[in-house]
Structure 1
Amino acid sequence: MQTSITNSTTRYGWGAILLHWLIALIFIGQFALGLVMVRLTSQRTAFELIQLHKSFGFLLLGLVVLRIAWRLGNVWPPLPRSVETLERRAAPLAHFALYAFQLALPLSGWALVSVSMLEIPSLPFDLFIMPNLPLAESDGAESFWAAAHWYLAYAGIALVALHVAAALRHHFQLRDSVLTRMITPSSDQE
């Protein structure tokens, strides 16, 4: 039995699984990197970590757009029948919120560097200069986007924690397939 890149009616395929876990790893890593980089005393190291943070932010933005396109172009396995009505209704809202935060967070970071009075270019992985968004530079705009980025980061990581808790509840308490189908890919025969 060969595994499939696309989803089946019962499981996710390699495409959805890889995008899910890669985005999760980068999203959580970005939160940790953000915490570290703003607390460093070495300006040189902080600058290098900020550039790395921006690089992964742009990568995250691209992957999330790809994941949304993948989701729209694939069948998605329904929740198991054992999932109650309230949770069945809440799940799409939670996933929508996750996608919204995964888009809003890198976009707010991009806005922040675009309005910064420091005018430091963004060099994703030292490959090219990422153009700024067409926003006016000002101290007020920089303060606004810095605060927005900070609040979005903490709200986003709280949402991720809730998502992880729900997945673990399904696996260990309810003992259904919600978590395992995001780990084991579908097969061509399904």
Structure 2
Amino acid sequence: MQMRNSATSYGLPSKILHWLMAVLIVGLFAVGLYMADLEMSPDKLKIYGLHKSIGITVLALVIVRLVWRLSNPVPESAPGLSKLENSAATAAHYALYALIFLIPISGWLMSSYAGFPVSVFGLFTLPPLAAPDKAMVDEIKEWHESLAWMVILLAAAHAGAALYHHFIRKDNVLRRMWF
């Protein structure tokens, strides 16, 4: 399997980053929904810690992915796509990257405002992004949750479009990101 992107397919690093991030983001969303309704307990704090650690991992991965994408041109558009379809796909990709970057930042900022550390798997602790400010916690929490819903809905549309291309149009859009 090729390492670098080609005119017709993504390379192995792009594919690994894509699918790893997809699994982590869906998992983070599910855990976020689950932990929101838990009563405060040591178990809830452990889940929050894991959620933060994986969120920061996603932040690091999206930065790696963006650097990789900038150094590797994306494959050419699938034959037969209209300008509108190409523009929509490009806009969706940019929006996904922006959301995947902003969600962990908003979580880190929320922890900072709440006065809680962001420890990454117990290996190191990130510096706070802001001084504690309880008045800002709820505002940032709303942003964090709204951004999470946006990325899930946009990712669902992205997956739906890929499946549409695979099963209805029978082109190579999905295959070029698959192993």
Cα distance in 2, alignment partners of residues 57 and 10 from structure 1: 31
Q: CA RMSD in A?
A: 1.1
Q: Does 1:158 align with 2:153?
A: yes
Cα distance in 2, alignment partners of residues 95 and 18 from structure 1: 17
Cα distance in 2, alignment partners of residues 120 and 75 from structure 1: 40
2:92 alignment counterpart:
94
Cα distance in 2, alignment partners of residues 46 and 157 from structure 1: 23
2:140 alignment counterpart:
145
Cα distance in 2, alignment partners of residues 38 and 60 from structure 1: 20
2:106 alignment counterpart:
108
Q: Does 1:65 align with 2:63?
A: yes
Q: Which runs of 5+ in 1 are unaligned?
A: 185-190
Out of 101, 104, 126, the position equivalent to 2:122 is: 126
Cα distance in 1, alignment partners of residues 133 and 128 from structure 2: 14
Percent identical pairs in the alignment equals: 40
Cα distance in 1, alignment partners of residues 151 and 105 from structure 2: 13
Out of 25, 28, 35, the position equivalent to 2:26 is: 28
2:17 alignment counterpart:
19
Counterpart AA for 1:53:
H
Cα distance in 2, alignment partners of residues 121 and 99 from structure 1: 25
Cα distance in 2, alignment partners of residues 21 and 65 from structure 1: 15
Q: Secondary structure at the match of 1:57?
A: helix
Q: Secondary structure at the match of 2:124?
A: coil
2:46 alignment counterpart:
48
Total equivalences in the alignment: 179
Once the 2 structures are TM-superposed, how far is the Cα of residue 45 of structure 1 from its aligned partner? 1.1
Cα distance in 1, alignment partners of residues 89 and 17 from structure 2: 19
Q: Secondary structure at the match of 1:120?
A: coil
Counterpart AA for 1:120:
F
Out of 141, 164, 168, the position equivalent to 1:173 is: 168
Q: Deviations over 1:39-94 (max 9, x none)?
A: 12361111000000000010000000000010000021111121122101111111
Cα distance in 2, alignment partners of residues 46 and 96 from structure 1: 33
In the superposition, the TM-score normalised over structure 1's length comes to: 0.91
Contact 1:38 1:46 in 2 (8 A): no
Counterpart AA for 1:162:
A
Counterpart AA for 2:22:
A
2:3 alignment counterpart:
5
In the superposition, the TM-score normalised over structure 2's length comes to: 0.96
Q: Which runs of 5+ in 2 are unaligned?
A: none
Q: Deviations over 1:149-180 (max 9, x none)?
A: 01111111111111111111010111000001
Contact 1:109 1:149 in 2 (8 A): yes
